[in-house]
């Protein structure tokens, strides 16, 4: 009998929104939407789209090859916290995005694995959610503007980046305004599934 695994929200990802959207049929499918379904089902390859930019294709491949990217983690019903802090990926500079997450051990493992494999230049700001995952932290009122503010000040982020912008998990989207009010930083609501983050940032960062 297989052990239950945590829900990483892979079903929330819509590949088609990252495709050219021209329905050119060069991939052999009538629409970009049908091509995305084919690829996500494992019956096609992103390489079949000749108009997909290479950098974005690399990011989308993380989604398609999720089983090769994600570390094996158990379903955990207890809190296991890691020390809040700042992690650097690639070679981030003052223009690089600042992603925010909670300090649940398995959340940290998954997020770090994805960002490392994606080869992104970014900062990961881990706030103190008392060892709860992001969804539980939001429900329990632990993923707050005050916690984000404390982390920003502790890590002196104003001295590290020049854009004053945060990217929070989609699961914490309902707290966007409160986080902006408490921190004074512009807040972008990122995707629900971390596997989508590289593609999301490829398209949306730097900000227009």
Give the three-class secondary structure for 188. Answer: strand
DSSP 169-185: -GGGGGGHHHHHHHH--
Residue 91 is predicted with a pLDDT of 95
* 95 and 28 housed in the same domain: no
* 184 and 103 housed in the same domain: yes
* 43 and 95 housed in the same domain: no
Q: Exposed, middle or buried: residue 208 (CB in 10 Å: 0-12, 13-18, 19+)?
A: exposed
Closest residue by Cα to residue 113 from 71, 80, 81 = 71
Residue 76 is predicted with a pLDDT of 64
Residue 71 included in any domain: no
Q: What is the CATH number of the domain that holds 33?
A: 1.10.15.40
Residue 65 is predicted with a pLDDT of 87
Per-residue H/E/C for 60-123: HHHHHCHHHHCCCCCCCCCCCECCCEEEEECCCCCCCCEEEECCEHHHHHHHHHHHHHHCCCEE
* 34 and 97 housed in the same domain: no
Give the number of domains in the chain: 2
pTM value > 0.75 = yes
Residue 98 is predicted with a pLDDT of 98
Residue 99 included in any domain: yes
Residue 94 is predicted with a pLDDT of 97
Residue 74 is predicted with a pLDDT of 65
Do residues 134 and 107 touch, judged by C-beta distance below 8 A? yes
Q: From CA 201, how far away is CA 114, in angstroms rounded? A: 13
* 38 and 114 housed in the same domain: no
Residue 208 is predicted with a pLDDT of 64
* 194 and 116 housed in the same domain: yes
Residue 131 included in any domain: yes
Residue 77 is predicted with a pLDDT of 65
Task: Print the domain residue range for 15.
Answer: 11-52
Give the side-chain half-sphere CA count within 13 A for 168. Answer: 27
Across the chain, which has 208 residues, the per-10-residue mean pLDDT values are 55 90 92 93 93 93 84 71 94 97 92 92 97 94 97 98 97 97 97 94 86
């Amino acid at each position: 009998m297989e052990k239950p695994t945590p829900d990483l929200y892979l079903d929330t990802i819509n590949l088609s929104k990252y495709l050219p959207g021209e329905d050119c049929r060069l991939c052999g499918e009538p629409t970009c939407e049908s091509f995305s379904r084919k690829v996500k089902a494992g019956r096609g390859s992103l390489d079949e789209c000749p108009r997909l930019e290479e950098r974005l294709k690399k990011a989308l491949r993380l989604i398609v090859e999720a089983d090769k990217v994600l570390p094996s983690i158990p379903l955990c019903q207890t809190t296991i916290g890691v020390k809040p802090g700042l992690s650097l990926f690639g070679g981030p500079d003052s223009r690089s995005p600042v992603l925010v997450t909670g300090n649940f051990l398995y959340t940290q493992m998954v997020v770090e694995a994805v960002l490392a494999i994606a080869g992104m230049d970014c900062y990961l700001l881990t706030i103190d959610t008392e060892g709860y995952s992001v969804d539980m932290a939001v429900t329990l009122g632990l993923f707050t503007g005050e916690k984000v503010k404390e982390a920003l000040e502790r890590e002196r982020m104003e001295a590290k980046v020049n854009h004053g912008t945060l990217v929070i998990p989609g699961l914490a989207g309902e707290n966007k305004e409160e986080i902006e009010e408490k921190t004074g930083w512009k807040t972008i609501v990122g995707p629900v599934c971390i596997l989508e983050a590289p593609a999301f940032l490829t398209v949306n960062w730097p900000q227009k």
